[in-house]
Amino acid sequence: MIKKLAVSLVLIIIMVIAGFIGMYKYQNRRLKPDYFEYYKTQDSVPDGKVGVFVTGLIIPEDPDPVFFYNIQHKISSQIIPWPFRIFAKMDKGIALFDPERYCEFKEFVPTKLVNADGSDRDIDGEPYIEKYRRGEVVWQPPAKMLHKDNGYFVYTGRKGGMASLAGKIIGKARLWYYGHGIVQKKMPHWQGSFDLINKAMARIEKANPGIMWRAESAMYYHEMKQKVYELLDAGCETIVLAAPMAVFSHFEEFDSSFRHCDDYIKEWEKEHPGKKIKVIMAPPMGLFKPLRQAYLAMLKDRLDTLPANASVAVAVTVHGLPWDQRPWEAWIDLAPQYRDPLLEDVKQLIGSYGFPRTTVMSCQDEFADPIRDPKDKYLSTGEAYWKAINEGYDYVIGLPIEFFAENTDTLFYHAIKNYDGFDGYNVYDPISYPDWSVPYTREFVQGTTHIIYNGVPVGKYQPFVVDALYASIDSVLKQGAGH
């Protein structure tokens, strides 16, 4: 009898484990269709009337809860695997921050608490700090799977109406990215991105009189759909999708912005029986030489300022993703066509100066950390800086090659990792960036090494970037009738 029960128990355990494994694989299955495969095999010749839709993750100039809510949902859905994403999307209560200590890693006693909207009181009019003193507000430690993540507080007396992590990122953005973190209280990314798009599309219009186009940030789904519909309702038979990105990825384009656009197009087709729209994805900007020229011009201007006898290191940086968890990422296949020639160009440029000692390092801002990269397979930007410092280089220059306008990543979220341990870096020191027409740079001195963040190609360097976006879209349009 006991033996039969034991066998039955083992069988039940095996069935439960098998069921969980099956559910895990199903819940974490890849999205279909795979738009990267579509991109590689697409017919890129436009048919009939052509419309262009330009989209990418463009960060608003002023804080917008909708944008940051959608960002958190995107991350929870695409990066965090099931069943952990269940917890990431849970509404545990009202996310709260101490407005003076919004980037802390260990629990502390707050002196004031505010919610994502900036209010220090709940709907009953009572200050959150009083609820904290009664034990109704609890500390939420940093996420274990995110390097240099910050903690926050949660009022557990009622639901917040959204995932607590969404409240966290909305509150952090308001306090840090658009608040204490920058003197001007604004982000340059929106203005810089649309300035780039508008200039490139003005050239497209000149070369293709009468062509229709629209552009929208990929985190504003309603507006995206509305603008795609405008193109379709105007009779466009081919939609060219373009993105102001050096390298495409599943995370940003093929499982996000381009996928959403194709969903809207399919929805329009269902509403208009008999209509079939051709979708073409323009290639990434990194395939075109002008984009490399933008960063080389910036680097040359920097190298021209250095002493002839200096030892110089250059850290060529990208955003980064957890590659080992996403081995199918399109970025892995597409990046070498842009990054590798640029690395060679950088080596040739720095070699032409005759500095006594030089090195060029390829690194990434995110996911090359002890949590996501425990075997240290990838070089982080912070590690590259410290490598140059420890090897006694006089200068190390950070060259971020995937950004065209400063944003919350370059100014804040990546900075806290890249400059970790620098004597001159304090997360609570506000930055000032009043003139968006010149690159924003940062300099630190650690020991005998000067660390220089060289900024992104705005102002006099922007025409190269405009050329690259124009070339990307034109490479499709020129295949159409009449060209």
Predicted TM-score (pTM) of this structure? 0.95
* Residue 370 CB neighbours (<10 A): 10
Phi-psi category of 320—alpha, beta or left, where left has phi over 0 and alpha has psi -120 to 50? left
Tokens 């360097």 correspond to 461
Contact between residue 393 and residue 359 where contact means Cβ atoms under 8 Å apart: yes
Query: Could you tell me the domains of the chain?
Result: 31-59+189-283 (3.40.50), 65-180 (no CATH), 287-326+338-464 (3.40.50)
Tens digit of pLDDT per residue, the chain (483 long)? 677 766 677 677 777 777 777 877 878 788 899 999 999 999 999 999 999 999 999 999 999 999 999 999 998 888 888 887 888 889 999 999 999 999 999 999 999 999 999 999 999 999 999 999 999 999 999 999 899 999 999 999 999 999 999 999 999 999 999 999 999 999 999 999 999 999 999 999 999 999 999 999 999 999 999 999 999 999 999 999 999 999 999 999 999 999 999 999 999 999 999 999 999 999 999 999 999 999 999 999 999 999 999 999 999 999 999 999 999 999 999 999 999 999 999 999 999 999 999 999 999 999 999 999 999 999 999 999 999 999 999 999 999 999 999 999 999 999 999 999 999 999 999 999 999 999 999 999 999 999 999 999 999 999 999 999 999 999 999 998 665
